[in-house]
Every structure is written in C-alpha cells, then in structure tokens.
Amino acid sequence: MGNSLTPHVSHLTDSKKGTFISFEGIEGSGKSTQARLLYEYLEGKGFEVILTEEPGGTQIGLKIREILLSLEYREISSMTELLLYNASRFQHIQEVILPAIQRGAIVITDRFSDSTVAYQGYGRGIDLNLIDSLDRISTKNLRPDITILLDVDVEIGLKRNRGIQKTDRLELEDIEFHKKVRKGYFEIAAKESERIKVISASESIEAIHSQIISLVTKMIETWKR
C-alpha cells in the first residue's frame, strides 16, 4: 500500500466540514468489504471515521431495511420501495451523516443516492425526474465528495453472493434487472466523472483496496494545499 495520509486537523475540524465518501456497485461487487477496509485504514491513520450503510444507519433505517430486503415482501410496489429508500435516507442524513460531517469526521457509506437512481430508476424504470425531485427533498442536495463505483460483470457478482449464501429480495431479481442497474451506474458515472471513480472489481481485494487508498489520499491531500 505504502501511501502516506496524516490527519489534517485544520481542514477537518476548524472548518467544521468533514469528508463524505460513498461506495456503489451492483450485487457482489465487493463494496461492503472495500468500505470496511477503507474505514480501518483511515481510522488507523488517526482520523475520526464513521462507517455506515443504506438502507440502514439508524434504528428507523434498519426497520425499513428489513422491509425492503425481506423475501416476505416480494410484492412491494416499485413506488413504495422508492419512498421507503428516501425515508431511510432522510433519517440517515439527519441523524448520522450531517452531524458527523459538521464535526469534521470522515463518513463512509455503503450506498447512497446513486443506488436509488441505478436500481429504482434504471432497474425498475421509474421516471428519473421524479427520482431526482424526491432526492432533492430527502438529501437537500447533499452529495458525496467522492464515490467509489466498483464494477463487476453481473453473472460474476451474483455468483459471488450465492457462494456466501447471501439471499435477499433484490438478489432474486432476474438477470436483466441487474444488467439494467449496471448500465445505469455507467450512465451516472459518465455524467459525474469528477465525483464518481470507477474501479474494476475483478482484481484481488488487496489490489482494489490499494487503488481506493490512492484515490482517497489524493483527494484529502488536495484539500490540504
């Protein structure tokens, strides 16, 4: 790894503005593993780091997560799904993300708004303008400083998750749904290339982690200048 990254107290605390990092990707892309590894790395460098996820991150969010991912609710409508994701996100921002950023912490979230655009927009076919309008309400235009998009072939990703016996409502969608989601992520990344950095998730966990450390190090070092 070999990258040096030291806490820049004046940027992270004096300005009362922390850093917001999100991880995105289709099922089996390894984003949860990489988010945890980044969290451990930055914490080891002396930063205050918050690792969280969506849907979830709060007690209310976890209850919503249970509904959204449970096989018991296979018949949930796409619009109900969309509204629940936004409800969870609003609570997450108010209770966890904003307070941490305002005190100068680094927040790492496993999924954020881009997931909703990819899954409910491109995957489900819900109008993107409607999704954007709801997002403006739930996030008040909050965006990550950097988004790590881990890309992997759909079949490989789903096979990985089957290998660890991960099964939830979204996992059981047909292959075409997941291909639409992946295509959606590519389109989102193309529109916001400054924020969203695409990394191949077909390499080793260690190699991917090193690339992520390099990206995040450059971002924070740039702010120090």
Does residue 117 lie within any of the structural domains?
yes
Other CB atoms within 10 A of residue 29 CB: 28
- pLDDT for the residue 137: 97
Contact 87, 98 (CB under 8 A): no
User: How far does Cα 29 stand from its chain's mean position?
Assistant: 12
* Radius of gyration for the chain, computed over Cα atoms and rounded to the nearest angstrom: 17
Task: Find the domain containing 148 and state its range.
Answer: 9-224
Phi, psi of 127 (to 5 degrees): -55, 125
Q: Number of structural domains, the chain?
A: 1
Does residue 3 lie within any of the structural domains?
no
CA distances from 154 to 27, 136, 148, 163, 189 (A): 8, 30, 18, 14, 17
pLDDT tens per residue, the chain (225 residues)? 444 443 333 333 334 489 999 999 998 899 999 999 999 999 999 999 999 999 999 999 999 999 998 888 888 999 999 999 999 999 999 999 999 999 999 999 999 999 999 999 999 999 999 999 999 999 999 999 999 999 998 888 778 666 655 666 677 778 899 999 999 999 999 999 999 999 999 999 999 999 999 999 988 877 655
- pLDDT for the residue 27: 87
Residues 6 or more apart whose CB falls under 8 angstroms from that of 154 comprise 26, 175, 178, 179, 182
SS3 210: helix
Does residue 4 lie within any of the structural domains?
no
pTM above 0.85, yes or no: yes
- pLDDT for the residue 71: 82
Does residue 119 lie within any of the structural domains?
yes
Does residue 125 lie within any of the structural domains?
yes
Contact 128, 177 (CB under 8 A): no
Does residue 90 lie within any of the structural domains?
yes
- pLDDT for the residue 69: 87
- pLDDT for the residue 172: 74
Does residue 1 lie within any of the structural domains?
no
CATH of the domain at 193: 3.40.50.300
- pLDDT for the residue 222: 74
Does residue 2 lie within any of the structural domains?
no
CA distances from 1 to 16, 37, 120, 138 (A): 30, 12, 36, 37
